[in-house]
A and B are shown apart, each in its own frame.
Chain A
């Protein structure tokens, strides 16, 4: 039974990282109707920035916070310079831009930092003052920190004026303009926030998967699976979806024969399955509308 709890808690930890990526993807999807395929590579790039800051001697928490802040700014800059010019372009053009962004970030990271695998320190101490056989200090820290970040995001969207304006701009841009919301800047802010959340995910997953330019490929896939499972129209659904995928992934790896080789396949099956049978996801909202 201990093994089951260990697997589940580790699954929740990795799942909360998937939740970060899923939430980032969903935030941009809600505003633009597109998946940002580069979300993972943006997070990877952010993690390398944190790694560089560590290299010049900054403490790990300072490096992480600075990297997240830098990612927020970079997200805004990317939206303003690369995404905004194509926002009215045909769908295919936009997808090409996202994929180009993915490949450019991947290659530039490889060029700057090389493709060798690097260790990345955990944000959390080895010794938490108590010992548990069920969950590692890093995983416990991951769960706690992501919950805090997600709660912060939720409160921001739910209770602040700018959060409300961002929701309005994503849901009904014309009406939002008519109450004085600058829709373009709300989109840019959304990109900034998504990039920052992604950076948190990247920095938390790096100690587990190690740091290299390709470290996010699997994580992004699980993040997508989580977003689709929860429902791309529902940010909280995406978060729950990410957690579910993390736990299921661990269960499959342990209890399905040959499962440890099939973890990624499982994510793909999940994506295809959801798209075929429940395209709105389990928590996807159906908008009630009366005319």
Chain B
């Protein structure tokens, strides 16, 4: 059974419809990417899963219906969202940001051990642990956002454009670490990207979104190797 199953998903911002019946699914331990241009509905799809936008249709996580749940309840099920813009708590320290990621957990020893583990993935965060998070560079804030999500010990991570606004080298570094996280933690990921090339290299499955609809889906390497798809949808 799929870990995440989305059927006929429609989403609305007030009167404006942003998704027009989107279907996709994600297997446990897998990485699925949703690609598309600006305004295609990628972010909205993630926000719909976390119940931050009004929707119709079905969203099932591990068989459980998410529609009608509050955002914080969805989080308690083990869904960690690395939001657009990174969602840094700018006035809190790096370490406090990580502690907030573990807000739903109570075992202090385990939380402490997990903070250490995040520092192992992202040594730069350890150097800055007492620093106000708002003073970090964009790349460091992205690392912090991923670290904060890891602190939930999530079953599913939703990642909203982790490459956004970052230099290519930093993007590469972050994607290497995401690959390691998948290998070591077995965390499933739903990855939204505009940077199709790098996302397709990491993901097993891909969906192409255009103006709120899925226009193509398949295994990542198939989509990556299809020159027509690349030229008409991915623009490279």
Q: Which residues of A contact B (CB under 8 A)?
A: 161, 164-165, 167-168, 171-172, 174-183, 285, 287-291
Closest Cβ neighbor of B96 among chain A residues? A164
Q: Which of B14-22, B55-63, B85-93, B191-199 contacts A (4 or more CB under 8 A)?
A: B85-93
In the complex, whether B65 has a CB less than 8 A from a CB of chain A is no
Tell whether, in the assembled complex, residue B83 and residue A289 are in contact, meaning their CB atoms are under 8 Å apart. no
What mask results when residues 133 to 144 of chain B are scored 1 for a CB within 8 Å of chain A, else 0?
011111000000
Tell whether, in the assembled complex, residue B71 and residue A290 are in contact, meaning their CB atoms are under 8 Å apart. no
Closest Cβ neighbor of A165 among chain B residues? B103
CA distance A167 to B103 in the complex (A): 13
Known interface pairs A172-B88, A288-B135; 5 further A-B residue pairs with C-beta atoms within 8 A, sorted by A's residue number: A177-B71, A177-B72, A178-B81, A180-B72, A180-B103
A sample of 24 inter-chain contacts (CB < 8 A) reads A164-B92, A164-B96, A164-B100, A167-B92, A168-B92, A171-B90, A171-B91, A172-B87, A172-B89, A174-B83, A175-B87, A175-B88, A176-B100, A177-B71, A179-B104, A180-B103, A180-B104, A180-B152, A181-B72, A181-B103, A182-B70, A183-B72, A288-B135, A290-B137
Closest Cβ neighbor of A182 among chain B residues? B72
CB distance from B218 to the nearest CB of A (A): 30
Tell whether, in the assembled complex, residue B135 and residue A179 are in contact, meaning their CB atoms are under 8 Å apart. no
Q: Which residues of A contact B70 (CB under 8 A)?
A: 182
In the complex, whether B148 has a CB less than 8 A from a CB of chain A is yes
Tell whether, in the assembled complex, residue B83 and residue A287 are in contact, meaning their CB atoms are under 8 Å apart. no
What mask results when residues 103 to 144 of chain B are scored 1 for a CB within 8 Å of chain A, else 0?
110000000000000000000000000001011111000000
Tell whether, in the assembled complex, residue B100 and residue A168 are in contact, meaning their CB atoms are under 8 Å apart. yes
Listed residue (B83, B87, B165) with the most chain A CB atoms within 10 angstroms of its CB: B87
In the complex, whether B52 has a CB less than 8 A from a CB of chain A is yes
Tell whether, in the assembled complex, residue A287 and residue B103 are in contact, meaning their CB atoms are under 8 Å apart. no
What mask results when residues 202 to 235 of chain B are scored 1 for a CB within 8 Å of chain A, else 0?
0000000000000000000000000000000000
- B135 contact from A175, A182, A290, Cβ within 8 A: A290
Q: Which residues of A contact B71 (CB under 8 A)?
A: 177-178
Q: Which residues of B contact A161 (CB under 8 A)?
A: 99, 103
CA distance A8 to B215 in the complex (A): 74
CB distance from B34 to the nearest CB of A (A): 18
In the complex, whether B76 has a CB less than 8 A from a CB of chain A is yes
Q: Which residues of B contact A287 (CB under 8 A)?
A: 90-91, 134
Q: Which residues of B contact A167 (CB under 8 A)?
A: 89, 91-92
Q: Which residues of B contact A177 (CB under 8 A)?
A: 50, 52, 71-72, 75
Closest Cβ neighbor of A291 among chain B residues? B138
What mask results when residues 143 to 178 of chain B are scored 1 for a CB within 8 Å of chain A, else 0?
000001000100000000000010000000000000
In the complex, whether B101 has a CB less than 8 A from a CB of chain A is yes
Q: Which residues of B contact A178 (CB under 8 A)?
A: 50, 71, 75, 80-81, 83, 87
CA distance A74 to B87 in the complex (A): 33
Closest Cβ neighbor of A285 among chain B residues? B91
Q: Given contacts A171-B89, A175-B89, A182-B72, is CB(A291)–CB(B100) below 8 Å?
A: no
CB distance from B140 to the nearest CB of A (A): 9
Q: Which residues of A contact B148 (CB under 8 A)?
A: 179
Q: Which residues of B contact A172 (CB under 8 A)?
A: 87-90
Tell whether, in the assembled complex, residue A180 and residue B87 are in contact, meaning their CB atoms are under 8 Å apart. no
Closest Cβ neighbor of B148 among chain A residues? A179
Tell whether, in the assembled complex, residue A174 and residue B72 are in contact, meaning their CB atoms are under 8 Å apart. no
Q: Which residues of A contact B152 (CB under 8 A)?
A: 179-180
Tell whether, in the assembled complex, residue B135 and residue A174 are in contact, meaning their CB atoms are under 8 Å apart. no
- In order of increasing CB-CB distance, the 3 nearest A-B pairs are A175-B87, A180-B75, A180-B104
Q: Which residues of A contact B52 (CB under 8 A)?
A: 174, 177
Q: Which residues of A contact B88 (CB under 8 A)?
A: 172, 175
CA distance A178 to B92 in the complex (A): 16
CB distance from A280 to the nearest CB of B (A): 14
Q: Which residues of A contact B104 (CB under 8 A)?
A: 179-180
Closest Cβ neighbor of A162 among chain B residues? B103
- B100 contact from A165, A174, A182, A290, Cβ within 8 A: A165
CA distance A190 to B134 in the complex (A): 24
Q: Which residues of A contact B91 (CB under 8 A)?
A: 167, 171, 285, 287
Listed residue (B72, B88, B90, B135) with the most chain A CB atoms within 10 angstroms of its CB: B72
Q: Which residues of A contact B75 (CB under 8 A)?
A: 177-180
Listed residue (B70, B80, B89, B101) with the most chain A CB atoms within 10 angstroms of its CB: B89
CA distance A174 to B134 in the complex (A): 16
CA distance A291 to B165 in the complex (A): 9
CA distance A172 to B87 in the complex (A): 8
CB distance from A84 to the nearest CB of B (A): 14
Closest Cβ neighbor of B82 among chain A residues? A178
Tell whether, in the assembled complex, residue A290 and residue B138 are in contact, meaning their CB atoms are under 8 Å apart. yes
CA distance A167 to B100 in the complex (A): 10
Q: Which residues of A contact B90 (CB under 8 A)?
A: 171-172, 287-289
CA distance A174 to B82 in the complex (A): 11
CA distance A32 to B151 in the complex (A): 28
